[in-house]
Amino acid sequence: EAQVTQNPRYLITVTGKKLTVTCSQNMNHEYMSWYRQDPGLGLRQIYYSMNVEVTDKGDVPEGYKVSRKEKRNFPLILESPSPNQTSLYFCASSPQGTAQKFYGYTFGSGTRLTVV
Amino acid sequence: DQQVKQNSPSLSVQEGRISILNCDYTNSMFDYFLWYKKYPAEGPTFLISISSIKDKNEDGRFTVFLNKSAKHLSLHIVPSQPGDSAVYFCAASEYSGNTPLVFGKGTRLSVIA
């Protein structure tokens, strides 16, 4: 089954303790992206990647890091989490170029992160 | 500055009636528009899309209308069903497809039985 898999689904952590949220896709998509969803703010892009070793900042990159060493994986790293990073996070992938316009993004099921 | 705006945070409709969700955009480079549906505890899923060369696209109960001169699109759901209760996101894409989709803030639709 074609899918985007995020882990963990739920995570409660303490301020300052480094964490990684994993994202993996099995559709051979070039493009991958991370979003956070907050009440009243919709989906805001954190980082995206056009292909392996190519990453770029989205709208709200502060406090986050990403890496794209393999095509299928795109982990989101919070080096020193803070309470304002409490949110619902989504990973997404899509084909590159014009194919993206027609097929849109495939999203993972989300990771609910709470930083206390 | 928000390039894709969904000005109604929520909408409540009776079962069987029409639901109309609206979306406005400011970037004239957008040429492809998509609607996503999101249930609680799930990721958004693709619903329907429209190219700027069309003014209407239909898929079953869902129809998207595009008014390029007004930079406005709308999603019509007829007839509305309780299972349609979800958050709906409008998204837009530029010509090349190599730039990220831009999402609106979403509209929460509640269909009341």
> Does residue B41 carry a pLDDT above 60?
yes
Residue B2: per-residue pLDDT: 82
Backbone angles phi, psi at B57, to 5 degrees: -140, 135
Q: What is the DSSP letter of B76?
A: E
Q: What is the pLDDT of residues B74-108, one digit of tens each?
A: 999 999 999 999 999 999 988 665 667 889 999 99
Alpha carbon distance A105, A35 (integer Å): 12
Query: Which range of residues forms the domain containing residue B56?
Result: 4-112
Nearest residue in A to B6, CA atom: A42
Burial of B113 (0-12, 13-18, 19+ CB in 10 A): exposed
Q: How many other C-beta atoms lie within 10 A of the C-beta of residue B71?
A: 17
Q: The domain spanning residue B97 has which CATH number?
A: 2.60.40.10
Alpha carbon distance A91, A73 (integer Å): 10
> Does residue B109 carry a pLDDT above 80?
yes
> Does residue B19 carry a pLDDT above 90?
yes
Number of structural domains found in chain B: 1
Q: What is the pLDDT of residues A27-85, one digit of tens each?
A: 999 999 999 999 888 899 999 998 999 999 998 999 999 999 999 999 999 999 999 99
Is B91 near chain A, with CB under 8 Å? yes
Residue entry with tokens 């990073």: A85
Q: In sequence order, which residues have a C-beta less than 8 Å from that of residue A114 and are 6 or more positions away?
A: A11, A12, A13, A86
Helices (H), B26-95: none
Contact A98 B96 (CB under 8 A): yes
Is A90 near chain B, with CB under 8 Å? yes
